[in-house]
Structure 1
Amino acid sequence: MAAADSVSKVPVYKLYGEHEQWLTPDMVHCESIADRSKLHDWQIKLHQHHGLIQLLYLRGGSARVCLDGEYFDMQPGQIVVVPQMCVHGFKFAPNAIGHVVTLALPLVQKLTQDIGDAQAVPATPRIYQVGDGDDAGKMNMGFSSLHAEYLGNGAHRNALMEAMLIAILVWLSRHEAYASGEPAREGDRGRQYFRHFCQMIEDDYAGQHSVEHYARRIGITAAYLNVLCRQYVGQSALELIHQRVVLAAKRNLVYTSMTISVVSYTLGFSDPAYFTRFFKRQVGLSPKEFRKRAATLLE
C-alpha cells in the first residue's frame, strides 16, 4: 500500500475516539492522561486531528509516543507538542500522570499573536524536557491551574486559562526541543496544499469565498482541493469552510451580546434571514435556539 494511502486511512478525530463536535464552542479542552487513556487500556492508537493542536505534559510515569512515524520514549518532566494533522499515538504505563491540553487552531493563533511570536507553537512535532527545580514548578502550576480552571466556572475563567496557556507557550519558546518528529514524507505536496487551504480559511473565513477562490490562490483545481480534503479529513472543501464560519457564529452567540443580525453581518452575510437558514441547516437549531440552549449548558 502506498504511504499516502496509509495515512489517508488514519482516523481523524476531534478528540481521541470522538467524531462529534465539542458540546460547547470552547476552544480549549483539558483532561488528565488517565481520563481517556485508561478507557483504552492505556494505549491511544495512531490518529490525527484537523484544526487542533495538542500539548501533553507527562508529569510522572513513562510513555512511548509515535510522531509521524518516529517513536520516542518519554520520561517524567517532558512535554510533547502535536501539531494538526500529525499522525500520533501513545502507549502509557499505568502509572502515567499528567495532562493533555487540546487547543483549537483559532485560539493558538490568538495566543501566538498576544505573545508576538508566530513560532511559539512549532509546526512540526516537538518534545521538550522540563527538568527539575524552578522550571518543573512553573509547569506543574501552569498545567494544574489550567485544568482546575477548565473544570470550574469562576469569574474571568477564559482570561485566566489563556494566561496559563501563554505562560506555558512562552516557556516552550525559550527552550530547545530535545527531540522532534520529522514531518511525514508521504504526499508532502498534497499535505502542504491542504494545510495552506486550512490557513487561508482561518485568515479570512468571513470573506464568504468559494472553493474555486481558494484553489486558484493555492494554484490547484477545485476538484483536486476537494480530493485532498476528503483524503485527509473525509469532508469536502466547502464543508470545512462552513465549519469555520459556524464555529465563529457559535462563539459570538454564546460569548457576546451581539444581536443575531450583527453576528450575521460580522460573518459576511448580507441577509440575517439567510444566515439563520444557513446556521439551522448546519447545526440543527436556529441561532436563537442555539443561544438559549448553550446558556443552560454553561450555567
Structure 2
Amino acid sequence: MSTEFPTYDIKAFQRHEPDTPFYMTPLEKLVKEFKGIDKSHSHTFYLLMWITQGSGKHTIDFRTYDVQPMQLYFLTPGQVHSWELSADIKGYNLFFEPTYFRARFSNRLYQYPFFHSHQHRPLLEMKDTAFVTLYDLMYAEYTAQSVNRSEVFLSYLHIILEKANRTYQQEWPGESTQYYNRIRQYEELLEEQFLDVREVKNYAEQLNISPNHLNSICKSLLGKTASQLLYERICIEAQRLLTHTDLSVKEIGYLLHFEDPSYFVRFFRTHTGHTPLEFRESQNH
C-alpha cells in the first residue's frame, strides 16, 4: 500500500543540472515545465517559495492561504502542499537539503520559528523592496556557475533566512527563541520516529533532557505538551492518508501502527473531534 501523492527529492527537479544539495528556479518556469506540481505532493527537502506577482491559493497540510505578492512561504520536509495559481504568477522556488545548511550553520536551522512545520504560520509578508533585489542576486549567482558558487549561494540563503527571522520577530516580538533548538530537534525526531516511538520519555532521552523539561519547553513556547505534539503529528499523517488515498480506515490504522482499528478511530476522534470517515467526507465536499 502506498500514498497517492508523490514525494519528491531535489534530483527530481534538477534534471540536466548539476547534482547539488540546493536548487532554485523561477516559479513560473516550474509551473510550466513540471506538470502536476500544483497537485498534492511532499518533499524530502526544505522549500522557500517567494511570490513577486500574481495570486491564488496555497494549501499546506489542510490550511489554505491566499497567495499575494511579497509573500515568502516556508515548508519543511514531509509537509504536503498544493496550489492554484493565477496565469501571471511570478516568483522563485528555492530548495535545499538540511545537511547543506547545517554544515556551516550547525543547529541554526532549528531556531527559525517559521520552520516549525505544524505550530507556526508558514509565511511572512516581506515588505522590504530590498528583499526582491536580494532574491534576484541569489538567482543570478545560482545560474552563473562561478567558482565557489555553493559557498556564495549558501551565504545568500543564510542572509534571506536571517532577514526573514528579523521580520518574524518584529511581527511577534513577545516570542522567546531560547528553546527553539530543542523544539525543532524534537519535531525532527517526531518526523523520523512517530510511527514507532509513542512515548515522550523516549524522545526526551534522545534529547538528553527529562520528560518534564521537554514538556515545560513545549508548553512555554507552543502552549502544548510534548504528548500533544506527538498526537498531532500522528493525526496529520492520518489526515493526509484519508485525504490523498483511497485506503480504508482499517488499512490506514495499520499503516499508522494501530493494531486495533477501533482504537485508531477513538484516538482520531479524541484528538480531532471527528471520526476518520467524517473527516474524509468533509474533504470530499
Q: Alignment RMSD, CA only?
A: 3.8
Report deviation, 1:88: 0.6
After TM superposition, list the pairs within 5 Å mapping 1:125-144 onto structure 2: 126-131=122-127, 135-137=128-130, 139-144=131-136
2:192 is aligned to 196
Q: Does 2:57 align with 1:64?
A: yes
After TM superposition, list the pairs within 5 Å mapping 1:40-189 onto structure 2: 44-50=38-44, 52-110=45-103, 112-113=105-106, 116=108, 118-120=110-112, 122-124=115-117, 126-131=122-127, 135-137=128-130, 139-176=131-168
Secondary structure of the equivalent of 1:10? coil
The AA in structure 1 aligned to 2:86 is A
Secondary structure of the equivalent of 2:168? coil
Aligned residues: 182
Q: Sequence identity, in percent?
A: 15
State the Cα deviation string for residues 123-174 of structure 1 (Å, max 9, x = none): 316110011xxx221x212211111111112222122111111110001111
Q: Give TM-score scaled by structure 2 length.
A: 0.54
State the Cα deviation string for residues 38-79 of structure 1 (Å, max 9, x = none): 2367961110012x0000100111131010011111110000
> Which consecutive residues of structure 1, in runs of 5 or more, have no partner in the other structure?
180-190, 199-215, 219-227, 233-299
Which 4+ runs in 1 deviate beyond 6 A?
19-22
Distance change (3 Å), C-alpha of 1:39 and 1:22: closer
Alpha-carbon separation, structure 2, partners of 1:111 and 1:63 = 36
Verify the 8 A CA contact 2:102 2:109 in the aligned structure 1. no
Secondary structure of the equivalent of 2:5? coil
2:265 is aligned to none
Verify the 8 A CA contact 1:58 1:76 in the aligned structure 2. yes
Alpha-carbon separation, structure 1, partners of 2:125 and 2:159 = 16
Alpha-carbon separation, structure 1, partners of 2:104 and 2:57 = 29
The AA in structure 1 aligned to 2:23 is H
The AA in structure 1 aligned to 2:135 is F
1:297 is aligned to none
Verify the 8 A CA contact 1:63 1:93 in the aligned structure 2. yes
> Which consecutive residues of structure 2, in runs of 5 or more, have no partner in the other structure?
173-186, 195-204, 208-236, 242-285
Alpha-carbon separation, structure 1, partners of 2:36 and 2:3 = 25
Deviates more, 1:163-172 or 1:151-160: 151-160
Alpha-carbon separation, structure 2, partners of 1:145 and 1:19 = 21
